[in-house]
Structure 1
């Protein structure tokens, strides 16, 4: 899967503005908040992972204690997003000026936007791969999807809903740091290597079973 670089971002035909520039414009009002948040997510200091997990654990502990309904939870999330969407740009315009924004910060901000576009590209590639598999090998696609959903249903029957959401949110929040420090690449590499070895063993054993 090819990564998106600042020089290889597809251009919008109707506006002539690159996808990267459009994303930078959309996030322009939040850039002063995005940079320090990115430092925390990427574990630039050793205590940042503990802070992230501690904050998430505290939040879910409050939810577990109060036991709000699903509608109340969604409403509170919506209210929080609306407040952030209004407060952050307003405070940024008062506290920060464009003259204080340096070239180094602009490069860091652009790098974050590039990684967001890379994630979007990876998700699109996975979707396209599944569509191609469905078109070319429908039986394999059906077995893959049925197996994946069966595993998810089995996991869901073992764990509480709130615990599942907590584990999912904790994993997603820790992904940037795991990726930055090479832990995620190491684990995925080991998994892909184990799967490839398993497939090679099956291919070697298949002719023997036919001859017998």
Structure 2
């Protein structure tokens, strides 16, 4: 029964997301191929676009709040202009059933990943009641580490690294690079313990 309601909730979330992304549907299909690295030059395009974006922010030399405001303005402009361009270039008659199916798969993937992240966050906060000692150790150590890193490294550079990893991660997973690296680490020769006499 829980799985059925969960599937029903995911279907409802997918329908809502499809309505929300209706203007973006033409742009999402090529964007998916770039994010999943279907061509060899796609990772370079992602890193290059993010590098130019953060280089412009760095050259403007704004404070943190103004940087977030500029990022918000750019994202709002993109959110406004992409549906207008897509609707003017591609009419509703050029949208095929296969493209609709791919669009629905993209929406289902987004909903599934969103729900997975929310589940992990809720599981972490559930530690507060089941194992408060572990919860506070993890929370305090993570926050101290983040504060130390943020005080040592430029915040714009940290955002650049974070967003680059975030945009490259789907392609890394799709290509199986992370699993390959993990298997290489597991196959590495183990160092024998040195016994003292």
Same topology, TM > 0.5:
yes
Q: Residue 175 of structure 1 contacts residue 184 of structure 1 at CA under 8 Å; is this kept in 2? A: no
Residue in 2 that maps onto 1:201: none
For 1:190 and 1:137, the matched residues in 2 are separated by: 34
Q: Residue 29 of structure 1 contacts residue 89 of structure 1 at CA under 8 Å; is this kept in 2? A: yes
Shift of 1:149: 1.5
Greater relative contact order structure (CA < 8 Å, 6+ sep): 2
Q: Residue 9 of structure 1 contacts residue 20 of structure 1 at CA under 8 Å; is this kept in 2? A: no
For 2:167 and 2:106, the matched residues in 1 are separated by: 15
Residue in 1 that maps onto 2:89: 95
How many pairs align? 182
Q: Does 1:37 align with 2:31?
A: yes
**Which runs of 4 or more aligned residues in structure 1 lie more than 4 Å from their structure 2 counterparts after TM superposition?**
185-191
**TM-score (norm. length: structure 1):** 0.76
Shift of 1:189: 7.8
RMSD of equivalent CA atoms:
2.5
- Structure 1 pair 9/40, CA: closer, same or farther in 2 (3 Å)? farther
Shift of 1:187: 5.3
For 1:76 and 1:64, the matched residues in 2 are separated by: 12
Q: Which runs of 5+ in 2 are unaligned?
A: 187-197
For 1:121 and 1:189, the matched residues in 2 are separated by: 27
Residue in 2 that maps onto 1:148: 142
For 1:163 and 1:131, the matched residues in 2 are separated by: 29
Q: Which runs of 5+ in 1 are unaligned?
A: 12-16, 194-212
